[in-house]
Amino acid sequence: MLVGAALAVYGLDQLSKYLVVTNLTEGEVVQVLGPVLQWQFVRNPGAAFSLASGMTWIFTILAAGVITFIVWFARRIHSIAWALVFGLLLGGVLGNLTDRLLREPSFGLGHVIDFISTPWMLPAIYNVADIAIVSSMVLFMILTIRGVGLDGTRESKRSDAARDAEAAGDAEATGGPAAPAPGAATADGADGAAAGEGKTPLAGTQLAAES
């Protein structure tokens, strides 16, 4: 799931940027759904949504670090939801990092292609990679708030399982035959006493008869 999501995001991001560069004029605005959705081709030297435009090298290094971390951390993920989180993040970061490494003006300082404009919602212009990155952050917060672990289980269920395992371990540590219940021991003693008392008169009667 992680690899599939990353490849899907990366492929869609790079394809959309290719179509924008080859078909639109920089700065041109194309009305798609009026003021709701527009295409506007811009080159962004900064981060997502055109933030911090003078820090291109820093974002290039950070993106490489994020990708390295995800690749290293992926082996710990055993949940479809968490795999989707890191897959969206990986695909989005890879998409924008490709622009920074390979596009003008130079290696590592390339400008990211942005083209999606939704003036009614955001003043910034963004791309498919940005959408994937933001979506991964939203899903990350949802899973964290709900207490979903990397294995897909909820925090409450893991706590219950841990308590059950601890109780089972304590029972095994103090193993051996169970002590008889106090009531059972008293009953056994009473039966024995009654049996003993019953034998004494019978033995006396037999002796009297023989004499």
| Catalytically annotated residues | 114, 130
What is the C-alpha to C-alpha distance for residues 94 and 11, in angstroms, rounded to an integer? 10
Q: What is the DSSP letter of 106?
A: -
Residues near 103 by beta carbon (within 8 Å), at least 6 away in sequence: 43, 110, 111, 112, 113
Residues near 31 by beta carbon (within 8 Å), at least 6 away in sequence: 38
Pairing mode of beta strands 112-117, 38-44: antiparallel
Which helix (H) or strand (E) element contains residue 25? none
Half-sphere exposure of 154 (CA within 13 A, CB side): 6
Contact 14, 95 (CB under 8 A): yes
Which helix (H) or strand (E) element contains residue 184? helix 182-210
E-state strands within the chain: 29-31, 38-44, 112-117, 125-126
Q: What is the DSSP letter of 38?
A: E
